[in-house]
Amino acid sequence: MSSVLPPPLAAGPADHRETSPWFWVLAGFAAKYGPLYTSASTGIWQSDDHAHGALILGVIVWLFWRIHRPLVELPSRPTPLAGWSLFGFGMLLYLLGRIGKISILEFGSQPFVVGGVLLLIKGPAALRLAWFPLFYFIFMIPLPGTFVDAITGPLKQWISVIVVEVLYSVGYPIARTGVMLTVGRYEMLVADACSGLHSMYSLTALGTLFMYIMARGSRLHNALMLISIPPIAFVANIVRVIILVLITYHFGDAAGQGFLHGGAGMVLMLVALTGFFALDALLATVLGRPARRPSPQ
């Protein structure tokens, strides 16, 4: 009587060969970027301006986990020339950043290194599958100081003007001198942290993630959502400052400072998410509801 080897047992060694390269990739990535993440966790990620960095890292891990099975199952069609070129460019950025202690280059090297590895192991199909997680690395890169300095001043002026106009129109005793707000007996400075630049950056990351998860099939829908992300983030920040002014006026400076460090981030996220959901629903109603893109899982 003959016996037949069960298919799962026969597939075992192949499965091991498919997954073993990824183990070494993860180990190498952890060894290379682990010190950078450790340094950031006790450095720039402790500041209000870059606190979203750790959250972005968590989202990227989740995004790659979400596509890990189809990524492993892709047929291997590596492109060595393109892969080594992309990987080498990423390594060069990393080394320059490490030597010069330039965090923009260190963090900015990640999508090139990971993209190069994907080309070396699986080929262009892997890049097409992992395009969004690779793109999302951008939001881990700290904003350049010169850019922040150039944008922060005008943003503070716009926010100050809008907040004063809104609250004065409903009867609050508020005035401004530059970016200094006077409401009742309190004076409040619209500081750099209240300019909303870094919060708009993190909310842009939230908005693009929202679009990716919703996976709308309409290009017009996605284009309108994309160009609406910065205005929604700006409005969310204005709402935060208005609430801060109202809390200070009604409950005192101590309450306002407590809100600034406790509830400001939550208000930003709730207002922005409400805006994203509302706009997405409106566009789906006006433009119709095309089939959603298939999930990578």
Report the chain's C-alpha Rg in angstroms: 24
DSSP states of 196-224 = -HHHHHHHHHHHHHHHHHHT---HHHHHH
Strands of 180-183's sheet, edge to edge? Answer: 174-177, 180-183, 186-189
Closest CA to 275 of 241, 222, 228: 228
Residues with Cβ within 8 Å of residue 250, at least 6 apart in sequence: none
H helices present in the chain, as ranges? 7-41, 52-66, 68-73, 80-100, 103-108, 110-121, 124-129, 131-136, 145-169, 197-214, 219-251, 253-262, 264-287
* Helix (H/G/I), strand (E/B), else coil: 152: helix
Hey, which residues are catalytic here? Answer: 194, 240
> In whole angstroms, what is the distance from residue 230 CA to residue 235 CA?
9
Nearest to 289 by CA among 210, 228, 207, 214: 214
Q: Which residues contact 119 (CB under 8 A, 6 or more apart)?
A: 78, 79, 82, 83, 86, 87, 126, 127
CA distance 59 to 56: 5
Contacts of 50 (CB under 8 A, 6+ apart): 40, 44, 142, 198
